[in-house]
Chains A and B, each alone.
Chain A
Amino acid sequence: MSGEMFPEPGWLSEEVKTGTTIIAVTFDGGVVLGSDSRVSAGETVVNRVMNKLSLLHDKIYCALSGSAADAQTIAEIVNYQLDVHSIEVEDDPLVCSAATLVKNISYKYKEELSAHLIVAGWDRKEGGQVYATLNGLLTRQPFAIGGSGSFYIHGFVDAEYRKKMTKRECQEFVVNALSLAMGRDGSSGGVAYVVTIDQDGAEEKCVLGNELPKFFDQ
């Protein structure tokens, strides 16, 4: 009998990654975050319904991509730090504070961690904001996309984004972008989670697979 009785399954050695599509877009009065729900370890899908939009504070969410463990841990740590910070200043934290905290961790441990978080939310000072924190950089953008599926929709979002969209238009834009990416990227799929944040709070929604918009599909 040959030595290799059963080849080692991917999930044994591969780290669990969220090969992903995440997107965050500002509209007039808030932000909309969206993500797919597929978590893979090698070629196996480990969880097909994971919600990658993590709460950092009441009106600040972050979207996780990259290594699942690293991203979840960063989100938990920043959640704790933001709680302490908001108690100290006796006010709701600013979105740029949350983004700076994420950036600090990403930059300090950039050699060990491999996670990319998009931070988005609403605060009283600047309204809806989206920050990208890739590998320790911090930049504010009108919209941001991330994850392996984002490569397929760069053209789409660049062409279709308009300033000052309404809340409905923005949610539609996010769901369209997600379905296009999920249709082309093998590591993205499942359902779409959408979170809308404005001055009244955060509203979470889940769009099931069969409710996603269909595009030209032969």
Chain B
Amino acid sequence: MAHLLNTSFIPSSQTLRRNRNFPAGVGISGRRSRAQVQAKIREIFMPALSSTMTEGKIVSWVKSEGDKLSKGESVVVVESDKADMDVETFYDGYLAAIMVEEGGVANVGSAIALLAETESEIAEAKAKANSSSSSAATPSPAPEPQPGKIAENVGSAPVTQTVKTPPVAVASTHPASEEGRRIVASPYAKKLAKELKVDLARVVGSGPLGRIVAKDVEAAASSAVEAAATATVSAAAGGAATVAPGIELGTVVPFTTMQGAVSRNMVESLSVPTFRVGYTITTDALDALYKKVKSKGVTMTALLAKATALALVKHPVVNSSCRDGQSFTYNSSINIAVAVAIDGGLITPVLQDADKVDIYSLSRKWKELVDKARAKQLQPHEYNTGTFTLSNLGMFGVDRFDAILPPGTGAIMAVGASQPTAVGTKDGRIGMKNQMQVNVTADHRVIYGADLAAFLKTLASIVEDPKDLTF
């Protein structure tokens, strides 16, 4: 076993071989943005160092950002469930951005760093690393969403991570902090805040002399999840998953905070003049693609979100909203919110920049968001920055339904199940095709029937010829 720790050791030939056997695009996936400029930025991902390894911890980065790497060189030391091993790069290039810091943990297959082919691409890769947050449950600071993005977003809940917001407002209440110039938090509180991604500047301390202690951070983190209810909500998905056993019949049970918020939002939605447009989309090609990429962790939700986002790129008006009854607000990013039923409520985790982030990252991000939602650890910017909402009841066999528009957004799409259907084809034959029905609810003040129709046509063409989804 000693040999495992020799520094120049290469993980294991078995692992290497396995990685190389992966179809291109999984291990180190070439990333192409829509602008076609990032072809040479590759991901370095968490390798599977043993058959039982599901996640790995970064022991140390042998190289630092900006270092030149040559093929076969050790880049990072990873601790698996078995031992510490050096991981080498398969490509020449520059270590552009480290996405999981030392001590951080990342799931096998998730990106831990970006590799730029030339020096000039380092900055670009760094930007990329910032915008696509890694899926790692890492203690490193979470990539901050760009302030501009948030400023244009509609969420009514406090936006915690804007750079523009000075932390002074709340911190001034700490007597121990010299009139708010400093944040006084205990070591564990700081650690927790980093883990739970709580902004200490917005936490009121209850410790000695107003010091922020661990329980304040925990309270702040859980209230953030409760506040989730004030976020956008789509009604349709609500009831389906929540008929829980153990309900005592004949009793009156008050709303939870989240349910109360849902109720308020639903009532508020009545003030918006909405209309609906439906479309039937053939999904054979999408299903085939899904089958192919499923093993790489790609989910149907991510595929749908990606397809929707790509369609929205061409129809910015469908991604807009009406806030004051007098203007269009064209959102700068395409953030797809996806309704998720959780434990007596409903929340809409947001896939930010779904048009730009590649499908693999998007799938990982989705998994991370769902895990967080389950653990009630979603941060406000992760559930209230959606610009377009998806609600999918297809998995329950629902073939069509109607969604209520969440206040503050322009449109929501209800997705039904994809089912084998006998259809007449253009060449006059009858054949079986998988088809699904989608139904978009939109705010008619900004989005008109023709807009939706054009959008749905684009969406249908993307879904029916989905090669762009995985680029």
Chains A and B bind each other: no
B: residues with CB less than 8 A from A are none
